[in-house]
Amino acid sequence: MKQEDAELIGRILDGDDQAFSELVRRWQRPIVSFLLRLSGNMDDAMELAQETFHTVFQRVGGLKDPRSFSSWIYKIALNHCRMRQRRRRGRVMESLEDLSFENNELKDHYQSLTGNEPFSPEEAFSAGEMERAVRAALSRIDEKQREVIVLKEYTGLKFHEIAEVLDAPVSTIKSRMYLGMENLKREILKIIQP
């Protein structure tokens, strides 16, 4: 994958328009998916992805090691997302603070998740509600912890790559991750077991 990215970047720098389209196609889903989980909003995620790709192509000539492209593009996406959130300070990303679950459906789902049985498609019955709970819980935890969790869980980056994206030591990243997972679980339980 890294080799393919490096080749595409080389072709882009040689003026190959096709390579540019291929790179967008290749990275669109991971970047939008990442930004969606970070911003909590699909429209924002799409716009931020556009801005991310614009920045990528403005600065790709300065990328020192094309093999570290994945960390680099996530870093750009993250910076765009942070800038937007700073501009909207005070406004909750997607206000799910008042979310409450009064039926037992979610509790049943929680029990199935905490049990030994693997997550099965049959459980998708309440997966939508579960997804909302995760979104809400993520929006309630510390921003830095959320960034690490989203990078780790939804991008497939390794801890040392996340450290590159966030410009922090690996030990700090792991510490944020551990605390973030604790807080996240607590928030999810608050939502589903009020």
Partner 1 sequence: MKCQELEKHLLDFVYDELEADARAGVEDHLAGCGRCRAAVADLGITRRFLGAWGESEADSLPPLAVRPPRPAAGRSRSLPGRIWVPAAAAALVLLVAGVFVAVVPVSLQYDSRGLVFRLGGPSSDGIAQVSDPVLRKVDRMIADSEQRQAQRTLDIVQNVYYRLEDDRAKDRQSIQQGFDLIKEIYMDQIEKNNQLLEMSVRQADYRVPAGAK
Residues lying near partner 1 in the complex (CB under 8 A):
12-15, 20, 24-25, 28-29, 32-33, 36-37, 42, 45-46, 49-50, 53-54, 56-62, 113-114, 119, 127, 130-131, 133-135, 137, 149, 152-154, 158-159, 174, 177-178, 181, 184-185, 188
What is the rounded CA–CA span in Å between residue 178 and residue 180? Answer: 5
What is the rounded CA–CA span in Å between residue 40 and residue 181? Answer: 18
Question: How far does Cα 117 stand from its chain's mean position?
Answer: 27
* Least Cβ distance, residue 95 to partner 1 (angstroms): 17
* Least Cβ distance, residue 85 to partner 1 (angstroms): 19
Nearest Cα residue to 167 out of 81, 74, 89, 31: 74
Q: Which is nearer to partner 1, 82 or 160 (CB)?
A: 160
* Least Cβ distance, residue 90 to partner 1 (angstroms): 25
* Least Cβ distance, residue 82 to partner 1 (angstroms): 20
What is the rounded CA–CA span in Å between residue 108 and residue 113? Answer: 9
What tokens appear for 125 in the block?
């019955």
Q: Which is nearer to partner 1, 15 or 90 (CB)?
A: 15
DSSP 63: -
Q: Which is nearer to partner 1, 50 or 79 (CB)?
A: 50
What is the rounded CA–CA span in Å between residue 108 and residue 127? Answer: 11
* Least Cβ distance, residue 91 to partner 1 (angstroms): 21
> Is residue 75 helix, strand or coil?
helix
Q: Which is nearer to partner 1, 137 or 166 (CB)?
A: 137
Q: Which is nearer to partner 1, 30 or 90 (CB)?
A: 30
What tokens appear for 175 in the block?
């510490």
> Is residue 98 helix, strand or coil?
coil
